[in-house]
């Protein structure tokens, strides 16, 4: 499973990128707002920093303007994935932009039928939002499983980009089910390294080591 970082915070991306675990980045209008920076400046910087796809979201709701915005954000780097919403106009824009050779991430996907349409429209990525389904008492992970089954039934090449990830358990489950990519906030990715038994074991080893009076260096 590829790891994308769901943030427009370039310091956080830099730290994870140094570890070599960043396969791409996703942003959205809320994350751009949180960064306090201009979309073009921040997306261009991120696209320069990472080798993989960097999703930049369009904000128009009509087809023509969405395509125009897609062309604008695509100029910000060679690795830009144009993000469009899973609306009828978004699907039309996906078809146009993917037909032109751009990577397209169809976002705000909340049903298997929506994901089926995104694949038919030539999406590079479809982004089902796990956490937001969990928020309304549905099971976001069930949707990842349904899309996996459907895409595998027909050999669709659209990649399932598990999004709206809120916990480390979401990461485990997305990987178990077979999401192609998971995009998560930096703190969730860092928490994946934590385990209380690791901390407890390390503490005991260090205490015993101190008793030996030895030094490795
Ligand atoms: C994905 O591309 C979205 O930016 C993101 O995962 C949304 O997450 P949220 O529901 O936690 O805002």
Please confirm, yes or no, whether 83 is among the known catalytic residues. yes
Asked if residue 124 lies in contact with residue 139, where contact means CB atoms within 8 angstroms, the answer is: no
Q: Is 92 in the pocket of ligand 1 (CB under 6 A)?
A: no
Of all protein residues, the one whose alpha carbon is nearest to atom 6 of ligand 1 is 164
Which residue out of 82, 131, 162 has the highest number of ligand 1 atoms within 8 Å of its CB and is therefore the one to mutate? 131
**pLDDT computed for residue 176 by the predictor:** 98
Residue 71 CA, ligand 1 centroid: distance in Å: 23
Which residue out of 2, 108, 143, 163 has the highest number of ligand 1 atoms within 8 Å of its CB and is therefore the one to mutate? 163
pTM comes to 0.96
Enumerate the β-bridge partners of residue 6: 26
Ligand 1: nearest atom to the Cα of 4: 2
**pLDDT computed for residue 35 by the predictor:** 98
Per-residue three-class SS string for the chain: CEEEEECCCHHHHHHHHHCCCCCEEECCHHHHHHHCCCHHHHHHHHHHHCCCCEEEECCCCCHHHHHHHHHHHHCCCCCEEEEEECCHHHHHHHHHHHHCCCEEEEEEECCHHHHHHHHHCCCCEEEEEHHHHHHCCCCHHHHHHHHHHHHHHHCCCCEEEEECCCCHHHHHHHHHHCCCEEEECHHHHHHCCCCHHHHHHHHHHHHHHHHHCCCCC
Which residue out of 52, 126, 129 has the highest number of ligand 1 atoms within 8 Å of its CB and is therefore the one to mutate? 129
Considering 2, 83, 120, 191, which one is annotated as catalytic? Answer: 83
**pLDDT computed for residue 171 by the predictor:** 98
**pLDDT computed for residue 93 by the predictor:** 98
Q: What is the mean pLDDT of each run of 10 residues along the chain (217 residues)?
A: 98 96 97 98 98 98 98 98 98 98 98 98 98 98 98 98 98 98 98 98 98 98
Ligand 1: nearest atom to the Cα of 166: 11
Ligand 1: nearest atom to the Cα of 131: 10
Q: Is 6 in the pocket of ligand 1 (CB under 6 A)?
A: yes
**pLDDT computed for residue 46 by the predictor:** 98
**pLDDT computed for residue 61 by the predictor:** 98
Six token digits for residue 192: 């994946």
**pLDDT computed for residue 163 by the predictor:** 98
């Amino acid at each position: 499973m590829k790891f994308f970082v769901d943030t427009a915070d370039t310091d956080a991306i830099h730290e994870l990128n140094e570890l070599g675990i960043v396969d791409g980045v996703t942003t959205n209008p809320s994350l751009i707002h949180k960064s306090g920076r201009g979309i073009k400046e921040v997306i261009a910087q991120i696209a320069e920093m990472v080798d993989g796809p960097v999703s930049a979201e369009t904000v128009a709701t009509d087809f023509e303007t969405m395509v125009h915005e897609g062309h604008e954000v695509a100029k910000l780097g060679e690795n830009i994935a144009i993000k469009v919403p899973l609306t009828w106009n978004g699907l039309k824009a996906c078809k146009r932009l993917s037909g032109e050779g751009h990577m397209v991430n169809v976002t705000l996907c909340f049903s298997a039928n929506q994901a089926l349409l995104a694949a038919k429209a030539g999406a590079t990525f479809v982004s089902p939002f796990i956490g937001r389904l969990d928020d309304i008492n549905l099971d976001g992970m069930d949707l990842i499983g349904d899309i996996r089954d459907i895409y595998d039934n027909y050999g669709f090449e659209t990649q399932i980009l598990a999004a709206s990830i809120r916990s480390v358990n979401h990461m485990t489950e997305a990987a178990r089910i077979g999401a192609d990519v998971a995009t998560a906030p930096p703190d969730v990715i860092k928490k994946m390294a934590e385990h209380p038994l690791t901390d407890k074991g390390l503490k005991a080893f260090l205490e015993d080591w101190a008793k030996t009076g030895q030094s490795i260096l």
